[in-house]
């Protein structure tokens, strides 16, 4: 019998986590081989590796403990990849040489599979004087463009592009430009953005007082705090970014406040880290631990949970010693503090099995209780590790126990730490678990509510055909197995039917016992008023959250899988109207379009800086169904060094255009090309290569003829498209598998079909 609870789980394992030869032939023949590979690798640092290998295997078995994707994919493979998920890079010096040294370090980190965070508050604002060169500074956003271009070219661990988080303090003089940067859909697409919001700023907002924007003790501007807050909120309301990080609370609560200051987080925000900080992640699968699900007296056994947590802590502590690191500074930071981020997944499913409605006071209380039990077990396990192997090198009992988080910890745990020390400086975090949750049988992700109880997924077969399969939430499938097609009880709610305040309530309940932070999305209805939207953030601050990320579907952010309120289908299942779902797949033509005798077109002159000869780009269009679409491209230059690749581009792009369908991806592929010799500044923007500049010309042409809506956006309409029955409304298309199953989960757009996520 297969260990996988659903076909999608096995497919995710095969695609993401199965160890294979370079030619694709499998080394892990079964998922048991994967568990054995991980257990053996993480046990090799033990004095009794055989004993601990069996303990570790038992924890992994049946998906009870889920190490994060980089550990699951990389442990025991001998590949030169880091097993750490999260990095915050070094403090960016306010100098040209220092800035580009940081860029080099970022590239090395992402190349090994690490997502990174940066605080750009340390770069002087736009227009500030640059001593010695008689020039004005270009500001932090100009350098963020350079980072963005670099990130487009780095494939993390061979399969995913790097993800980045950029933060900026709420008192930086360029903060207004920072918070509105995502209004340009083509800019900073590889970044998540978050504002570091201080308590003083929020108090000024509440008092409608003035707020000074300062750099190096110089006041550049004074604004009304409430006006700046409204601008932050309006950008988030419209574009789902920036997020908000309550930075004072993070530093006050930090166990290590005596030896570090935090100013940035990893890409999804659950790991606030100091310069060169690194953290690894893993999750306890609560959905697999419930005894007597859907019965009277359903519960999670204390002893079983504590034993599993203790084993998971030991495994994660061993990762610190087993992992490679992109930079020596990251290795030193990790080993001096031995941070780990143990969290949970399947929380919403576990609540359902207990008969509790996600978002209710009872569910919040149960969540707080479970997270308290996890925290206690994790800290006590780390104390035992300290007795056996020694405390983390920078441990100081007095300052450690005086931190905000430790002051609320149980007295027996505090006493144990005071007497024996502790192995890991921080232990708990709620990380994004979208992909590993699919791998574990489609359990609910992290502490998020269930997004959709069932949806139809199209699977591409080897012969090119597509088959459909139903993807069912783990708890719903268990309900079906126990009670057949009996109607789901009323306490089965999902992300779209909850009030934003209920989301915040659950995040705050979990945060109380999480020493790092939480990756969670507060889903807001499209018609939420702006004032009510702002109240969500104030509620998050006032109830003890360390940050807040919202998602309000609209024309800019895109729609998500919707939930019908009719009774024609189960809660969370998507409706079908008149036999056809809203939206549909693009059916691409197998034969190219015939070329008419004459075509209308436009020729563009592209002058690359420092190049002797211009490049001329001619784009001809065809009219189908009254709409113009690009049909062919001719690229010419007198520079003979360009001859081969311009001919190749002409032939390849034209061949793609003549096949029809959505060909706007050509633009994005060209714009992502990074020239290691350096790009150029053109019309106020950093262009990473001459090929990217050509992509920009083609994009402007597509906009001009109405083929795409705007810079960085997709089709306005596709006259060659054909609507087919999907069984569910579509969201944005996934860049990895092409299916329309992208949705905002845990602060990041994630594909429900293949697990693809920009954030990891």
494 Cβ partners below 8 Å, 6+ apart? 449, 450, 451, 452, 453, 563, 571, 572
Q: Where are the alpha helices (DSSP H) in 175-246?
A: 175-180, 199-207, 225-239
259 Cβ partners below 8 Å, 6+ apart? 394, 396, 399
How many other C-beta atoms are found inside a 10 Å radius of the C-beta of residue 638? 11
Which of 556, 495, 537, 553 minimizes the C-alpha distance to 243?
Answer: 537
DSSP string, 73-137: HHTTS--S-BS--EEE-PPPPSSHHHHHHHHHHHHHHHHTT-EEEEEGGGSPPTT-EETTTTEE-
φ and ψ of 497, to 5 deg:
-95, -5
d(Cα 268, Cα 191) in Å, to the nearest integer? 10
How many other C-beta atoms are found inside a 10 Å radius of the C-beta of residue 745? 28
d(Cα 614, Cα 608) in Å, to the nearest integer? 7
CA atoms within 13 A on the CB side of 502: 20
Which of 59, 111, 104 minimizes the C-alpha distance to 82?
Answer: 111
How many other C-beta atoms are found inside a 10 Å radius of the C-beta of residue 526? 11
Token pair listed for 333: 């930071």
Residue 285 designated active-site = no
* Contact call for residues 89 and 275 (beta carbons, < 8 A): yes
Residue 268 designated active-site = yes
Provide the b/e sequence for 254-267 (b: ≥16 CB within 10 Å): bbbbebbebbbbbb
d(Cα 178, Cα 226) in Å, to the nearest integer? 17
Q: C-alpha distances in angstroms, 584 versus 58, 298, 452, 573, 580?
A: 44, 42, 19, 17, 8
Angle (deg, nearest 10), helices 49-60 and 302-322:
120
Which of 345, 603, 357, 612 minimizes the C-alpha distance to 488?
Answer: 357
677 Cβ partners below 8 Å, 6+ apart? none
Q: C-alpha distances in angstroms, 57 versus 12, 50, 65, 202, 362?
A: 20, 11, 10, 48, 34
CA dihedral 271, 93, 147, 214 (to 10 degrees): 80
Which of 352, 511, 694 minimizes the C-alpha distance to 702?
Answer: 694
* Contact call for residues 40 and 69 (beta carbons, < 8 A): no
Task: Please report the sign of the dihedral spanned by the C-alpha atoms of residue 511, residue 517, residue 520, residue 525.
Answer: positive
* Contact call for residues 338 and 382 (beta carbons, < 8 A): no
Token pair listed for 84: 């750490």
Choosing from 85, 251, 255, 266, the catalytic residue is: 266
If you count DSSP H runs as helices and E runs as strands, how many of each does the chain have, helices first?
24, 30
Residue 759 designated active-site = no
d(Cα 510, Cα 490) in Å, to the nearest integer? 24
Task: Residue count of the chain, please give it.
Answer: 760
Choosing from 241, 270, 333, 573, the catalytic residue is: 270
Tell me what percent of the chain is helix, strand and coil, each rounded to the nearest 5. 40, 20, 45
Choosing from 86, 151, 170, 268, the catalytic residue is: 268
Q: Where are the alpha helices (DSSP H) in 455-553?
A: 474-483, 500-511, 530-542
The CA-based angle 361-363-369, given to 5 degrees, is 105
**Which residues are part of the catalytic machinery?**
266, 268, 270
């Amino acid at each position: 019998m297969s260990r996988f609870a659903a076909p999608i789980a096995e497919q995710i394992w095969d695609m993401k986590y199965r160890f294979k030869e370079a030619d694709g032939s499998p080394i892990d023949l079964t998922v048991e081989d994967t568990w054995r590979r991980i257990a053996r690798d993480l046990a090799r640092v033990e004095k009794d590796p055989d004993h601990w290998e069996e303990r570790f295997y038992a924890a992994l078995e049946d998906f009870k403990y889920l190490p994060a994707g980089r550990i699951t994919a990389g442990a025991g493979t001998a590949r030169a990849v880091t097993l750490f998920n999260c990095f915050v890079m070094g403090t960016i010096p306010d100098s040209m040489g220092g800035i580009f040294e940081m860029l080099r370090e970022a590239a090395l980190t992402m190349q090994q599979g690490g997502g990174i965070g940066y605080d750009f508050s340390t770069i002087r604002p736009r227009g500030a004087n640059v001593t010695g060169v008689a020039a004005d500074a270009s500001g932090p956003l100009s350098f963020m463009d350079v980072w963005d271009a670099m990130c487009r070219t780095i494939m993390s661990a061979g399969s995913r592009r790097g993800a980045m988080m950029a933060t900026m303090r709420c008192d930086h003089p360029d903060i207004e430009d920072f918070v509105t940067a995502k209004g340009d859909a083509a800019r900073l697409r590889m970044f998540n953005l978050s504002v570091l919001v201080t308590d003083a700023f929020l108090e000024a907002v509440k008092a409608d007082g003035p707020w000074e924007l300062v750099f190096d003790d110089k006041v550049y501007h004074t604004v009304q705090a409430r006006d700046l807050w409204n601008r932050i909120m309006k950008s988030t309301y419209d574009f789902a970014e920036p997020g908000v990080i309550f930075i004072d609370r993070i530093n006050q609560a930090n166990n290590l406040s005596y030896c570090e200051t935090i100013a940035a987080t990893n890409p999804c925000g659950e790991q606030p880290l100091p310069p060169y900080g690194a953290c690894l992640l893993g999750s306890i699968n609560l959905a697999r631990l419930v005894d007597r699900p859907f019965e009277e007296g359903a519960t999670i056994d204390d002893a079983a949970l504590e034993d599993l947590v203790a084993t998971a802590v030991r495994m994660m502590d061993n990762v610190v010693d087993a992992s490679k690191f992109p930079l020596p500074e990251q290795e030193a930071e990790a080993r001096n503090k031995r941070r780990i981020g143990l969290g949970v997944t399947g929380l919403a499913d576990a609540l359902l099995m207990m008969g509790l409605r996600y978002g209710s006071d009872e569910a919040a209380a149960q969540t707080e209780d479970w997270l308290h039990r996890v925290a206690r077990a994790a800290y006590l396990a780390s104390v035992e590790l300290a007795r056996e192997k020694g405390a983390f090198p920078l441990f100081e009992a007095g300052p450690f126990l005086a931190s905000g988080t430790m002051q609320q910890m149980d007295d027996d745990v505090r006493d144990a730490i005071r007497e024996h020390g502790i192995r890991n400086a921080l232990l708990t975090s709620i990380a994004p678990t979208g992909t590993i949750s699919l791998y574990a049988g489609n359990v609910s992700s992290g502490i998020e509510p269930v997004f959709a109880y069932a949806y139809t997924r199209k699977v591409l077969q080897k012969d090119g055909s597509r088959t459909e399969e139903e993807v069912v939430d783990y708890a719903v499938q268990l309900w079906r197995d126990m009670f057949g097609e009996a109607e789901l009880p009323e306490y089965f709610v999902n992300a779209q039917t909850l009030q934003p305040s209920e989301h915040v309530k659950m995040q705050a309940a979990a945060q109380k016992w999480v020493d790092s932070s939480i990756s969670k999305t507060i889903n807001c209805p499209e018609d939420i008023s702006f004032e009510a939207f702002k109240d969500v953030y104030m509620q998050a601050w006032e109830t003890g959250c360390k940050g807040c990320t919202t998602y309000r579907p609209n024309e800019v952010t895109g729609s998500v899988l919707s939930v019908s309120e009719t009774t024609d289908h189960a809660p969370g299942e998507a409706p079908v109207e008149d036999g056809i779902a809203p939206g549909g797949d693009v059916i691409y033509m197998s034969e190219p379009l015939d070329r008419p005798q004459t075509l209308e077109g436009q020729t563009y002159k592209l002058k690359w800086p420092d190049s002797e000869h211009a490049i001329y780009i001619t784009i001809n269009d065809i009219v189908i169904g009254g709409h113009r679409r690009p049909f062919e491209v001719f690229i010419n230059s007198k520079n003979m060094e360009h001859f081969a690749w311009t001919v190749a581009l002409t032939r390849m792009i034209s061949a793609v255009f003549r096949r029809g369908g959505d060909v706007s991806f050509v633009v994005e592929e060209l714009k992502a090309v990074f020239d290691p010799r350096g790009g150029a500044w053109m019309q106020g923007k950093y262009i990473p290569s001459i090929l990217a500049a050509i992509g920009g010309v083609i994009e402007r042409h597509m906009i001009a003829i109405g083929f795409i809506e705007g810079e960085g956006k997709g089709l306005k309409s596709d006259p060659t498209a054909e609507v087919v029955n999907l069984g569910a409304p579509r969201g944005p298309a996934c860049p990895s598998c092409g299916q329309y199953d992208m949705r905002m989960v845990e602060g990041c757009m994630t594909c429900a079909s293949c697990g693809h996520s920009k954030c990891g």
